[in-house]
Amino acid sequence: MNDSKKLSLVSSLLIGLATVCVVASMFFPWWKMVFYAPQYPEGLNIIVYPNKLDGQIDIINGLNHYIGMANFSEENFPELSYLIYIIGALAVLTLITAVLRSKKVLYGLISIYIIGGLAGVLDLHAALKNYGTNLSSKAPIKIDPFVPPIIGENTVANFVTHSILGTGIYFVIAAFILLLIPLWKDRKK
C-alpha cells in the first residue's frame, strides 16, 4: 500500500481505542426520558439500552393510559432485538479499520457512523412522533397531540419530561471523534 494512503501507527491505535468505546457503549443506556410531576418529584424514568428498556415503565404506562398513549414495551421497539448486533458489527468494522490502516477504509467507516447516526435519530423521532400523535380518542383525558423532543424538555398536563442522551451514546460520540483525529493527523503536509 502506498505510504501516503496508510494511516500512522498512532492513528491505528486511536481507531483501536474507538473500537473499545463502541464495545463499552453496549453496556450503558443510550437515551433516557425522565418524567417529573408533583406526585413524582423524584421522577420516573424510561431508560433505553441498545437491547432493552428499563425504568418505571409499568407506572408510566399506567399514567399514559389516561391520555390515550400506547404502552411502552420492548415489543413495540423491534430495533432492540437487533441493534446490539449492529453495534457489535460496527465494533468489528472499526477494529478491522485499525488493523488495515487504510484511509479509504477509514472514510468508508466514518460514512457508516454518519449514516447510522442519522438513521438512529430519525428512527427515534418517528417513534416519539407515533407515541405522541396517535392518542386514543377514548382516553379519559383529552390533550393535543405532541412530539416529545429527542433532547430537551416537554410539558404534558402536569408532567415535565426531560429527554437526555445516555452514557452509551457519549461513548459512540467519543469513538466518532477518535475516527476523525487520524484524518487531521495523517493529512498531507
Q: How many domains does the chain have?
A: 1
Instruction: Look over the chain and give the mean of its residue pLDDT values, rounded to a whole number.
Output: 94
CATH number for the domain spanning 108: value is 1.20.140
pLDDT tens across 31-60, in order? 999 999 999 999 999 999 999 999 999 999
pLDDT, residue 157, reads: 85
Question: The C-alpha cell of 62 is what?
Answer: 399506567
pLDDT tens across 107-165, in order? 999 999 999 999 999 999 999 999 999 999 999 999 999 999 999 999 998 999 999 99
Cα distances (Å, whole numbers) of residue 22 to 108, 118, 167, 183: 17, 17, 11, 19
Sign of CA dihedral 91, 23, 102, 117: positive
pLDDT tens across 173-185, in order? 999 999 999 998 8
Query: Over pLDDT 90: what percentage of the chain?
Result: 92
Give CA–CA dist 130/1, Å, rounded. 50
pLDDT, residue 3, reads: 55
Cα distances (Å, whole numbers) of residue 21 to 3, 76, 136, 168, 180: 28, 28, 41, 9, 14
pLDDT, residue 185, reads: 85
What's the pLDDT band for 84 if we cut at 50, 70, 90? very high
What's the pLDDT band for 19 if we cut at 50, 70, 90? very high
* Residues 1-17, mean pLDDT to the nearest whole number: 85
Question: The C-alpha cell of 148 is what?
Answer: 416529545
pLDDT, residue 148, reads: 93
- E strands present in the chain: 31-37, 40-48, 53-55, 152-156, 159-165
Instruction: Determine the structural domain holding residue 52 and report its residue range.
Output: 3-185
* 4 has pLDDT over 90: no
pLDDT, residue 52, reads: 97
CA angle 62-131-58, nearest 5°? 25
For 85-111, b/e burial (b = at least 16 CB within 10 A) is eebeebbebbbebbebbbbebbeebbe
For 140-158, b/e burial (b = at least 16 CB within 10 A) is eeeeeebebebeeebebee
Task: Give the HSE-up count for residue 106: Cα atoms under 13 Å, Cβ half-sphere.
Answer: 28
* 188 has pLDDT over 90: no
Backbone angles phi, psi at 20, to 5 degrees: -60, -40
pLDDT, residue 1, reads: 46
Helix (H) or strand (E) holding 60: helix 57-64
